[in-house]
Chains A and B, each alone.
Chain A
């Protein structure tokens, strides 16, 4: 474990930095406008614009590969957005949440307009001052969003929205149906020595939460309630489980395409995946299936966030409004294999692929979202107010020791 600042170093931290570490508070208590209550982020007082002006002619986006899809989205297409708004889009693909945070922070941040960040990056972006509040009134489809995604805890603080929710998905258990004629229903298969050298999991520190989620049921005595809020003992147990898992791992996958080829070439038979990989593998006709095991699953919720120094804010709002419309939401959901936050997208999905709405739980009732533990940045403050939870930097350091 990398130890952190000495007392002398603490003194040197700027006021903002100190405020952040000391005072990110009280996750869990719901504010009036949704989200969570907590210390105000540095950009909280920046008033979002009240109307969308003329487009600036350009838009620079950081996205997950496939989130600005020029080939698969046909009705409407990205080109049609560029034509109607005059906003020429430049895209930088990021492969990890950490990379997104780094890209947004580097060079003063004046280079980018928006980032399609996942929940594990959001709090870092918000408290790092890289993103600023957005005005949801400028997004006509916002009123049609699933209630949960209007103000999820990972992008809304004290009722202020730091971005517009986009899509979400669960982290599923993917397996080879030839190797598992009886579908597995527990995450235990990826910790089972019987599958030595045949397992793959994402190369991502947030994977520690998946181990913690499994331990909620497996070792109730640890008292884990939220897999992102772990005290030292709970954290050590999760890390120990992952170290035991290391010999079973063929490869920690970094790109979706890597995991697909691992399964396709029979290098692995079971692993943690996204629905996207399952869709691709099934489309190629392979013996693959996925499931959400009985322990539940972690999940990701993505948000288009507006850079604090965005050079093209009007184009950014036009983009956020456009990707929230039912048609684009449905196109993205089907092409990427994830679930739209706009409830009106369900009907459009059915016209593209019958049954897809239910398959992706796009019509799920509000209670469904309690079974998915959405990614969020682990912070030092525990729900009980103490500072004994393990912050993300230590997750990262631990992940290096697990995978090395």
Chain B
């Protein structure tokens, strides 16, 4: 710590004497204080230890264990784990058509939901941030957050009541003399339900980004003769994109990891990555295979977050 000693302080040789003298007078507190004073890095280290320790121990370690387990296998009859290193699990996931199909379906639906939510959320957030009065803004804000108070399950089940064969949707269509839409228990139903459930997570970051666009920029655009739509396209939209990307992190990752909606509202051929993980953990007891499969969303999200970082999404969070 040669460079760490503040200028004008006693040399280490004298320090021992002065510290000892102070110790006698102040009792107890001084050695720690002295220690922190001599080792400034120690204070920040102690401050950082709990959050860092939590992160490393709980989060990184569990991810690491997940990764390790993925290279093991099980005895197929008794389902006990056999710690024999091999790449079988990954080979199966990458070569078996079934798992490619499931991964593809999950990613495509997550992307569709994200785009849908972005398209729905932008005008809504724009109205909230830049058009509505203070009072209306508060009401809209409450309206966006209100569904989050109700249980996830209750909201999904209510969609089953709407979309099933004799549900609200079909009885309405019937009353209008239109043919019934049998979208209950299909991937279309999942798309609708996911888009509905994650919409607040898109609206709020978009709203936050839009609210931060300075009025002066719009005035400047107007002064330079830009019509309203041109100002939105060239000024507001680029500034709002990081907010939309931030929202898309939520909608994309939440859809990617979900397994409840596919069970409840999906039909035949609605299996998600999460469902296969779930059935391998809770049903087949094939933890290694589940671990290997769980690495796929982790990898996809890592790529996604890198891309989002480049687009400046983290400044909008």
Contacts and interface: CB of A to CB of B under 8 A. Distances in A.
A124 B284 CA distance: 12
A174 interface: no
Contact of A4 (B76, B98, B281): B76
Contacts of A99: 282-283
A67 interface: no
B30 interface: no
A106 B184 CA distance: 36
Contacts of A392: 76-77
Interface stretch (A8-16, A218-226, A276-284, A314-322): A8-16
A360 B272 CA distance: 39
B268 A251 contact: yes
Interface residues of B, number: 40
Contacts, number: 124
A340 B284 CA distance: 29
A117 to B, nearest CB: 14
- Most chain-B Cβ atoms within 10 A of its Cβ — which of A24, A129, A250, A394? A250
A400 B76 contact: no
A84 interface: no
Chain B contact surface mostly: loop
Interface in A63-118: 96, 98-99, 101-102, 105-106
B271 A403 contact: yes
B165 to A, nearest CB: 4
B92 A2 contact: yes
A246 B268 contact: yes
Interface string A354-396: 0000000000000000000000000100000000000111101
Interface in B151-186: 160, 164-167, 182, 184-185
B268 A17 contact: no
B78 A3 contact: no
B63 to A, nearest CB: 21
B280 to A, nearest CB: 9
A240 interface: no
Contacts of B289: 2
B76 to A, nearest CB: 3
A392 B269 CA distance: 22
A290 to B, nearest CB: 20
Nearest to B185: A251
B265 to A, nearest CB: 9
Interface stretch (B43-51, B81-89, B110-118, B306-314): B81-89
Given A250-B267, A391-B77, A396 B165 contact: no
A404 interface: yes
B75 A267 contact: no
Contact of A400 (B78, B184, B279): B279
B60 interface: no
Contacts of B102: 404
Nearest to A400: B98
Contacts of A393: 76-77, 284
Given A3-B88, A9-B73, A404 B78 contact: no
Contact of A17 (B77, B166, B184): B77
B77 A2 contact: no
B80 A105 contact: yes
Given A24-B77, A102-B79, A392-B77, 20 more contacts: A2-B96, A4-B73, A4-B76, A5-B73, A102-B281, A102-B283, A105-B79, A105-B80, A106-B285, A128-B78, A250-B267, A250-B268, A261-B164, A266-B165, A266-B166, A391-B76, A391-B77, A392-B76, A396-B284, A400-B279
A-B complex: 7 closest residue pairs judged by Cβ atoms: A393-B76, A249-B268, A98-B283, A102-B285, A128-B78, A9-B84, A401-B98
11 contacts: A2-B289, A8-B86, A98-B285, A249-B267, A249-B268, A250-B268, A251-B267, A254-B263, A261-B160, A267-B164, A401-B98
